[in-house]
Structure 1
Amino acid sequence: MPSSLTDLTSLVDTIARTQDPEAMMDTIVGRLSELMQSSVCSLYLCNPQQDTLILAATRGLAPNAVGQVRLSLNEGLVGHIAASLSTLNIADAPADDRFVYIPETHEQSYRSFMGVPLIHLRRLIGVLVVQDQDEGRYSDEEEAFLITVASQLAGTLHLLQRSGSWLQQEAALSYKRFSGIRSAAGIGIGRLWIIDPHMTLDQVKAGINSDPVEEKSEFHQAIEWLEEDLENRSGKIGHHLPGDLNALFSVYQMMLKSPELVKGVETLIDRGDSAAWALRQVIEQMAATFDQSNDPYLKARSEDITNIGQRLLNELLQHERQVTETPDEPLILTGELVNITDLAEFPLQRIHGIVCTSGSALSHTSILANALGIPAVMGVEGLKPEQYRGQRIIVDGNRGECTINPPDVLCREYRRMIADEKRFIQGLERLRYEPAQTLDGFRVNLLTNTGLLADATPGLERGAEGVGLYRSEIPFMVHQSFPTEEEQFRIYQKVLAAYAPLPVSMRTLDIGGDKQLPYFEMSEQNPYLGWRGIRFTLDNTQLLITQIRAMLRADVGNDNLQLLVPMVSRVDEMSSFRSHVEKAVADLSKEGIKVRLPRIGMMIEVPSAMLLLPKLAPWVDFVSIGSNDLTQYLLAVDRNNPRVSALFDHLHPAVLNALAQIYTQCSRLNLPVSVCGEMASDPVAVLVLLALGYNSISLSAYNIPRIKLLIRSVNREDLEPLLIQAMDCIHEEEIRALFRPLVEKALSSPTG
């Protein structure tokens, strides 16, 4: 009997170091048969395309049976384990009624049998089996050990099973399919063109310098050259970008001038570090500030810091990028991260897609891809671009997939889809200035979410009627200290001016807990229930007053500011906030600045705010429902935790009931209410919101045209009977099934 802890740790470590799929599976069955002293150990993996179990690896059965033996779910002992998702431990397998003899395996001499299902996040991955010649059940200790092994290996085998690389018939095909994160919708076909990185930051080793003055001089020369390069590239690509989206280059230039970056590197050089080593340390510290956040939007900002650091390192090491002569044909840019400067090196008409092996749907790459209409997939699992350099690739941004070396028949089908999509988009453009109004006259206000000045133009270009949520955290995250009133004023003024006279709801600083500042350390055991949002800013009154003053001043001449308070959970939080705003208005007026008292809103993200609405009403002018956090708190599900993220659904019956309750209360209290977050981009959820009566939603800019088409294609009165049925549902899938046919019908044509 194996020693559970020691042997399990050794087994898992060995497998983790094995990269080749076939070798990994052979290692699993080989080591397990040794540890359990079993004559046979076999691994069956589920083929998700066919709902069958395939013998993927074995130690003890006939080797030529691998890849040939296939069992339906519930066929034989292995199929029974897969269908029941339960362990099976029997003394005499051939005597069991469920036993199915398979001649190819030569397993007739084995009597004792034990198998356990491999399950990852509630999904069947496969079955792990041990067998012996002697009759008798395996011991409880052996059964417990195999169950533990299966639970540890399921996650690793999930990636292998999902890729399909273990299937012999897949290996015979010329094409491979990889999955990632949907980043920018659309389809692109072209040659895979790798963005080759130079020496990466994480490859820089600790080093000392012999001349700090020279090292600092080289560092500043690198900054100057990169600033000039960014300016040149901005000129090349900028006229292709819609308006202020070109400001992404300015964001990079701002980062280059960050005191935290410049002074941080200089300080380490003065202490004796080489410029490259100092740069790596500072960049990693700055990136970690964002990366530690559980907010996907803020987490994505670490990519921008890392991109700047990599570019500076290239210049420090005198590795100026040399672009190989590119073929005059469509290209799919591929690499770990494809950033804005990479895009500027290629003619935009040649870029037909972007594939990144890391990154998120909220990175600047995604923002650019959406604005330029380039399909993009981020975080592609298992793809090693260097193995497929120069090969044909299809990028499917709608599904979050890419296919390498696709057959001609598949390319023809995708080209047909591209042509259909072009016709669809042309139809949506005709709706840009049309109202989002149902066929029976129910009018919906479509607002956009934004967080950087560069985000402003996509919303305006796609018909946004204002900003429903402006995230004000970024200026605080990219500084070495709290930004001054003047610095904030300049940023807010540009955003408000870009949208004037359309309303802009600026959320006050939502920092604390999981959103750490590099210059204000906070350590909490449970950040989600800790010092964040309005709690943090009220306790740091000077920060709140400074931000309020900057926003009020930025509103002068624009008159479109609305203030939005995050994470409200108590009445005194809103009463105190309103008092601070009124005092700031009075103080600025005394200083001769003609500010006005803007409308003040609160976000409903915490269940207590929903329950306290009647008592909060005297202090607020409008309400905005933060669907992401409200869902998270109602369901106790962290949507960024892969173990439970599948349970996160904003159409969970509890969320639906909460939304109905909030709308009823807001109507009774005469409070305008809107919904922001991912829910507002989900077509099915939008129909549910319409049925509930919501007439204002705030969503990502890219999704506005499609959601407008959806709204203009339905009758609200047709949704009300479906809502009645939905309120009786016990599962979110039942709710989706009710509304999905209407969505499919509405989005099948660009007319509306």
Structure 2
Amino acid sequence: MPHPLATLTALVEQIARTQDPAAIMETIVQRLSELLEVEVCSIYLCTPERDALILASTQGLSDAAVGKVSLAMNEGLVGHIAATLSAVNLADAPSDDRFVYIPETHEKPYHRFLGVPLLHLRKLVGVLVIQGHQREPFSDEDEAFLITVASQLGSTLYQLHRDGKWMSNLQDVSPFRRYTGIKGAPGVGQGRLWLIHPHLSLADVKEAMTSNPAQQKSDFADALEAVRKELESGSGKLGQHLPADVRALFHVYELMLQSPELSEGVLRLINGGASADWALKQTIDEMASMFEQSSDPYMQARSEDIRNIGQRILNQILERDQQVLEAPDEELILAGDLISIADLASFPQQRIRGLLCTAGSTLSHTAIVANALGIPAVMGVEGLEPEHYRGARVIIDGNRAECVVNPPQALMNEYKRMIDQEQRFMRDLDRLRDMPAETLDGMRVKLLTNTGLLADATPGLQRGAEGVGLYRSEIPFMIHDSFPTEQEQYRLYSKVLKAYAPRPVSMRTLDIGGDKQLPYFEINESNPYLGWRGIRFTLDNTQLLVSQIRAMLRAHAEHGNLKLLVPMISRVDEIKTVRELVEKAAEALKRDGIEVGIPEIGMMIEVPSAMLLLPKLAPYIDFVSVGSNDLTQYLLAVDRNNPRVSNLFDNMHPAMLVALEHILGQCRQLNLPVSLCGEMASDPVAVLMLVALGYDCLSLSAYNIPKIKLLIRSLHHADLLPLLEQARHCSDETQIRALFSPVLERLGWSSDHRQPPEQSKPQP
């Protein structure tokens, strides 16, 4: 019988509208039974431990067997499908040697059998089976259709599997929920779940009514005033730095904001019962369409401006919708899609006990900042809907990449014991603060810190940092409401340089783009990681780059410990232009009476072309910093924020080993000092490989410095060299990690190699 694509599409759409796990699976088996005209359709799902398959839903077998029948992997035909990940199509299943009859299912009358594995991103979710009375195999058409269905349903059933809710319909399980994700930042925390609202686009606003028009009108009026102040402040601060046409844009925005069509249109709709955001969307759409219908290109372009104004107003309305915390001193777990730096900055740091993101990966910017602050984080958690658990008690375990919602008291107590033990251990590591990171056979490794979120640079000093290897200057830009002025930047940079003097501070010029966006300068690109980011953006906005260079040089004139670092270099002319701008800025400052010398100028190696152009780049630079996060991403062509491929991202990939050896060899030949920054420097297994390679300067989050120092002081460099030689012959990262991991195990580190000796895991 024909199985048009439309039937599959209709099935998937019907499932998408179903919320209850049991209802989803019941819909699947019922609809497939009808579509394929079979007597039996069943779904078997893996247990959380993936050691068995449970009959989760069926149409045709005994309902009493659901939740009761369990098959081990490779047990019976279903287990065989799970173990081999291949389809089985039989004319008479009971006569097959692999068949196992389970009386509870009442499946004795059925002979023909077709089963296919359910997979999602290479992981087994379960097995989908159809059965019938006839003694003939299913047709090739039926088999192809079932395989297609399984490929479409794999993602939906995977989320159910990870969620664990499907088991609550089958057996008596405890009410708490355990969700797993991707490791973001190590550590353990407890607190109340606080939902961070995602930034809603005006185009995504849905129809909504209100029973309180007065409040909605008040919110709209407040939002208008807030945007007016934003524009006034922005034009004032940046007026002297912006060209005339850009300054005029501020005036256009202000006129649009004062337009009676805007205010009257929104208020009229609110009076009619619409919510403020829905009224705003309709009014903006109407005004923008009037511009779009004009034959004048200039007037057509103004439609973008009115939509921009509408988005600004919407952002202010949503900000006013944020709930006020009832318990100001309560510990919090922040949860959302991806939590921005601005979100983090709006809470006292001592209250944030963990970050829980339903998107992102280990090297998302959120995870990097969490690592820098020592906040546990779990990324890419599928199946969790944070809005359903507002205010719930949550445990977050960044070491095992999981969280527990509404945990029982016994589990909370066990995690509390772990948290206390971790804090005691970190306090004990204070004894190493002033000791060098030196191996037992004398190899000295300089440990620098990454910073940028806070002007207060003391965490790195408190943990023994020997300087700053990466100051992320974009973070102050990201938490500001407009481009900061030269004077504002100077005050901030001076504070950081003063705190570390005479230790060196490598300040990276503005690096936005990719997953780092400015709230007041939106960049929309189809492929942002290969687009307008880093030095490309700042060179195209030279006035911003010059302003930042001047602020850095002024701070350097006072403290003398600046090293200027340039991101995303891929061409010789880029670094050549930056050096020329630095020299011109220094000359201009001298004419103003500020005696400043040219600081060391370095570049990040993140783009593979920079690695290959090192001899040509060397005349224009004084040092090199390997940005391990982006270099891995570009070298492997893996978007670290894409959960479909983020599992392929690993700094220990053999290609990275080759690249790191090449970079170090080139730098030695060219007499260029080289350091490595990024999360690779916080990964104990990776640190073993880096030390073996000969990298003697690492920059990492302040929180992780004591642990990595302890590791380096516990090993012999010479013992790692034979492992490095073996690693050169490995074909994947798993093999390389397997070579170096036993070193950590001998030193007593935990099985996940993230926690030093004396750290244990809770018993679930």
Q: TM-score range by the shorter chain?
A: 0.7 to 0.9
- State the match for 1:452 in structure 2: 453
Corresponding letter in the other structure for 1:6: A
Report if aligned partners of 1:183, 1:400 keep a CA contact under 8 Å in 2.
yes
Cα separation, 1, equivalents of 2:743 and 2:695:
18
Secondary structure of 2:457's match? Answer: helix
- State the match for 2:105 in structure 1: 105
Cα distance, 1:77 vs. partner?
Answer: 1.9
- State the match for 1:717 in structure 2: 718
- State the match for 1:584 in structure 2: 585
- State the match for 1:65 in structure 2: 65
Secondary structure of 1:640's match? Answer: coil
Distance 1:52 1:5, change over 3 A: same
- State the match for 2:309 in structure 1: none
> Quick check: 1:271 aligned with 2:262?
yes
- State the match for 2:42 in structure 1: 42
1:462-473 aligned within 5 A: 462-473=463-474
Cα separation, 1, equivalents of 2:182 and 2:7:
36
Secondary structure of 1:556's match? Answer: helix
Report if aligned partners of 2:538, 2:545 keep a CA contact under 8 Å in 1.
yes
Corresponding letter in the other structure for 2:36: M
1:3-22 aligned within 5 A: 3-22=3-22
Structure 1 residues without counterparts, runs of 5 or longer: 225-258, 285-304
Report if aligned partners of 1:680, 1:697 keep a CA contact under 8 Å in 2.
yes
Cα separation, 2, equivalents of 1:274 and 1:682:
53
Cα distance, 1:688 vs. partner?
Answer: 0.5
Cα distance, 1:126 vs. partner?
Answer: 0.8
- State the match for 2:612 in structure 1: 611
Structure 1 residues 558-615: Cα deviation after superposition (integer angstroms, max 9, x where no partner): 2121111222222233223222222222232223221110111111112221122222
Corresponding letter in the other structure for 1:749: P
- State the match for 1:749 in structure 2: 757
Larger displacement relative to structure 2 (418-427 or 686-695): 418-427
- 1:313 aligned to which of 297, 300, 320: 320
1:544-559 aligned within 5 A: 544-559=545-560
Cα distance, 1:9 vs. partner?
Answer: 1.4
How many residues get paired? Answer: 683
Secondary structure of 2:588's match? Answer: helix
1:275-674 aligned within 5 A: 277=277, 309=316, 312-314=319-321, 321=324, 323=326, 353-354=353-354, 356=356, 381-383=382-384, 394-404=395-405, 406=407, 410=411, 413-454=414-455, 456-474=457-475, 476-477=477-478, 483-511=484-512, 525-674=526-675
Cα separation, 2, equivalents of 1:471 and 1:148:
47
Normalising by the residue count of structure 1, what TM-score does the alignment of the two structures yield? 0.79
- State the match for 1:242 in structure 2: none
Secondary structure of 1:489's match? Answer: helix
Cα separation, 1, equivalents of 2:366 and 2:648:
28
Secondary structure of 2:126's match? Answer: strand
Report if aligned partners of 1:175, 1:405 keep a CA contact under 8 Å in 2.
yes
> Quick check: 1:114 aligned with 2:121?
no
Larger displacement relative to structure 2 (676-685 or 400-409): 400-409
Structure 1 residues 606-657: Cα deviation after superposition (integer angstroms, max 9, x where no partner): 2221122222222211111111111112111111111111111110111111
Cα separation, 2, equivalents of 1:439 and 1:733:
27
Cα separation, 1, equivalents of 2:18 and 2:518:
39
Distance 1:268 1:514, change over 3 A: farther
Structure 1 residues 74-119: Cα deviation after superposition (integer angstroms, max 9, x where no partner): 2222222212212222333233333222222222222222221111
- State the match for 1:740 in structure 2: 741
Structure 1 residues 56-88: Cα deviation after superposition (integer angstroms, max 9, x where no partner): 111111111112222222222222221221222
Report if aligned partners of 2:467, 2:500 keep a CA contact under 8 Å in 1.
yes
Report if aligned partners of 1:353, 1:376 keep a CA contact under 8 Å in 2.
no
Cα distance, 1:30 vs. partner?
Answer: 1.1
Larger displacement relative to structure 2 (526-535 or 722-731): 526-535
Cα distance, 1:686 vs. partner?
Answer: 0.7
Cα separation, 2, equivalents of 1:157 and 1:58:
15
Cα separation, 1, equivalents of 2:196 and 2:574:
51
- State the match for 2:94 in structure 1: 94
Cα separation, 2, equivalents of 1:454 and 1:709:
28
> Quick check: 1:140 aligned with 2:147?
no
> Quick check: 1:677 aligned with 2:678?
yes
Corresponding letter in the other structure for 1:461: Q
- State the match for 1:236 in structure 2: none
Report if aligned partners of 1:472, 1:506 keep a CA contact under 8 Å in 2.
yes
Distance 1:331 1:545, change over 3 A: closer
Corresponding letter in the other structure for 1:720: L
Report if aligned partners of 1:74, 1:80 keep a CA contact under 8 Å in 2.
yes
Cα separation, 1, equivalents of 2:196 and 2:578:
51
Distance 1:697 1:270, change over 3 A: farther
Normalising by the residue count of structure 2, what TM-score does the alignment of the two structures yield? 0.78
Structure 1 residues 690-733: Cα deviation after superposition (integer angstroms, max 9, x where no partner): 00000111112222221111111111111111111111111211
Distance 1:267 1:56, change over 3 A: farther
Distance 1:270 1:450, change over 3 A: farther
Corresponding letter in the other structure for 1:463: G
Corresponding letter in the other structure for 2:67: G
Corresponding letter in the other structure for 1:432: R
- State the match for 1:235 in structure 2: none
Corresponding letter in the other structure for 1:581: V
Secondary structure of 1:107's match? Answer: coil
Report if aligned partners of 2:185, 2:375 keep a CA contact under 8 Å in 1.
yes
Structure 1 residues 253-307: Cα deviation after superposition (integer angstroms, max 9, x where no partner): xxxxxx99x96995588721659549998xx9xxxxxxxxxxxxxxxxxxxx999
Cα separation, 2, equivalents of 1:69 and 1:455:
59
Report if aligned partners of 2:190, 2:333 keep a CA contact under 8 Å in 1.
no
Report if aligned partners of 1:427, 1:750 keep a CA contact under 8 Å in 2.
no
Structure 1 residues 33-73: Cα deviation after superposition (integer angstroms, max 9, x where no partner): 11222211111111241511111111111111112222222
Identity %: 58
